[in-house]
Structure 1
Amino acid sequence: MTTNRRLILTALITGCWIVLLSLLNNGIQTVVMATMWDLNTMLPPTFVWPTIVILVIVLVVVLLAVPTLLIWEIWRRP
């Protein structure tokens, strides 16, 4: 694979990562507004904690690990 192709694929993966991160941010904002998060204590209502855990797992696994592995695989191959 040529360097140009590697750069293009890396840019595409990075762009998709930025879009997904933006969507996740919008999702977090929606959860905060929909549940009337207590902004004085900065603690969410009890029933929101499972949603927060799921969002953190998605953030770590999908938004960090997958793009990193894809980019690493692209640049590792000859």
Structure 2
Amino acid sequence: MAASGAKGVDGGRKATTVHFSNVVGCKVMRKHPTTFKLVVYKATESKRYDFEAKTADEANEIVKELKKGISPYRDV
């Protein structure tokens, strides 16, 4: 999955790998239900990645799976 706005070789997008322990949070955007954001901690700052799914249901499913992946690293 490539972040919106990131340019690169493969299809005009750049891929990056982030460990679940570095994910600050993720959520579906209320105004645009097919768009979701992923906030990660990199070095000394947070970086936000915006993604677009085909449908609102797909966006919700992706966010659900991401939250499941980061839950072991979160203090709840």
TM over 0.5: no
Considering Cα pairs closer than 8 Å and 6+ residues apart, tell me whether 1 or 2 has the greater RCO: 1
Q: Which has the higher strand share?
A: 2
Give the TM-score taking structure 1 as reference length: 0.31
- Max Rg structure: 1
Q: Which has the higher helix share?
A: 1
Give the TM-score taking structure 2 as reference length: 0.32
